[in-house]
Amino acid sequence: MYDVIIIGAGVSGAAVARELSRYRLKVCVLEKEEDVCCGTSKANSALIHSGYDAAPGSLMAKLNVAGNTMMEELSLELDFPYKRIGSLMVCTSNEDLPQLQTLYSRGIQNGVKGLSVITRKEEIREMEPNLADDVVAVLHAASAGIVCPFGLNIAMAENAAANGVEFFFDTKVERIFSNKKEQRGFQIKTSKGILETRCIVNAAGVYADVFHNMVSNRKIHITARAGEYCLLDKSAGEHVNHTIFALPTKWGKGVLVSPTIHGNLLVGPTAVDIEDKEDTATTREGLTELIEKAGMSVRKLPIRQVITSFTGLRAHEDNHDFLIGELSDAPGFVDCAGIESPGLTASPAIGLMVADIIREKLQPQVNPDFNGKRKGILNPNTLSKEERAALIAAKPAYGNVICRCETVTEGEIIDAIRRPLGAKSLDGVKRRVRAGMGRCQAGFCSPRVMEILSRELGIDMKKVTKNGAGSELLIGTNKDRL
């Protein structure tokens, strides 16, 4: 019998797990994929929003601003990349200036700090030389930032695991029943057996409506909203200094152009509602659309420097707000649903809010052994020449570069595999240390990473996968054909 079972190991589920690990509770996380950060949390804009966009009074607005405020301290505690670079909402027509002013007023009402409307073209051009020529004003949000979404998600999950939370991967939730035997709580039928729990936290992303509707008569509906992106090479990373948003116009909502925390340039997303909650395909139409729209805000966009494109799915609830709270007709079932943008920003505050709901219900004791600190994977590129030489002398694997594009060493990959909730696949390694995320997109380093995974996990090379069962890369050896 668990006290709490969390469904979903994305950024919301990991945030809840970490906050609950502050208490003496038996907690586990169920994830249908082979790793944390495999759904919405892995494919998004990687932004820390300031909070002026959400409707005043909404949970989105409240938790966005709270999460933004918490992010810097959290990044220091958990050792993940984060940088406050600010954002600019671009207005290209005098007719649209009232709309820009409305967003400014909404931000002030939401409690956003560091907002200003700038109309002096010289000042705008000094801030961003590559903005479109017809820009007449910008809304500057100094509190906006960029983050590594994988780093944030993995850091919170690792810290939760270090403090006693159990994680079960490749474990799909199939049904949820009331626990008649205990006359309280729930039984959860999974692909690997039945578990019992006093409380459930439903952090299942685009599938959160499925589990909510299993236990509640008050149905909700979540749409998978697909957003396509282009990622540009690091040679294009300094084309803009801030995250650039386009003010919605008669041509529709624009796309963003932003530096990433690792020095690339990101363009996107589109927004198309789809039926299939697993469809992450990119389309020619979508990529063409985002390139055209980005060009309305940023000139001379070096789009030929694209190294990959991808699609992320947002969990859009019909009322366009976060659904967080215990269900009145299913006591012990706590929704953490409809977590779309700005969910990444809000995640620390979401974790705190859900943990408070559980704490008030179960009245647990504080965990005296809780340690909120976590040390990330050592990046030798951050060391001085002398420090790096000493590291390699002590641990020669840090002198063996495996991924040339990102200069990732064997030592880093070994750390990624051996640490709590370590990598078990090529994508797991990629999310943790960026091996395969560079210009050649894993064309060079994949065989070597596979060899390291095979050795460290003690499995045959044919069992090494890209992202879990069914994505094996090898089917045999050449000698088998002789």
Please tell me the number of Cα atoms within 13 Å of 425 on its side-chain side.
19
Report the distance separating Cα 221 and Cα 217, nearest Å: 13
The Cα–Cα gap between 29 and 4 comes to 9
Report DSSP state, residue 28. Answer: E
- Among residues 49, 140, 212, 239, the one annotated as catalytic is 49
- 446: Cβ–Cβ under 8 A, 6 or more apart, which residues? 426, 436, 473
Look-up: residue for tokens 């994305």?
10
CA distances from 199 to 48, 125, 196, 478 (A): 30, 54, 9, 52
Q: CA separation (Å) from 86 to 79, 116, 144, 387?
A: 21, 11, 4, 33
Backbone conformation region of residue 442, classed left if phi is above 0, alpha if psi is from -120 to 50, else beta: left
Could you say which DSSP state residue 22 is in? T
Task: Using CB atoms within 10 Å of the CB of residue 465, give its burial: 0 to 12 exposed, 13 to 18 middle, 19+ buried.
Answer: buried
Please choose, from the candidates 286, 292, 233, the residue with its C-alpha nearest in 3D space to the C-alpha of residue 263: 233
Token output for 69? 């405020």
Amino acid at 95: E
Helices marked H in 119-272: 121-127, 149-162, 208-215
Tell which residue, 53, 54, 135, 129, has the closest CA to residue 97.
Answer: 135
Other beta carbons within 10 Å of 184: 14
Residue 197 tokens read as 């729990």
Please indicate whether residue 49 is annotated as part of the active site.
yes
The residues annotated as belonging to the active site are 49
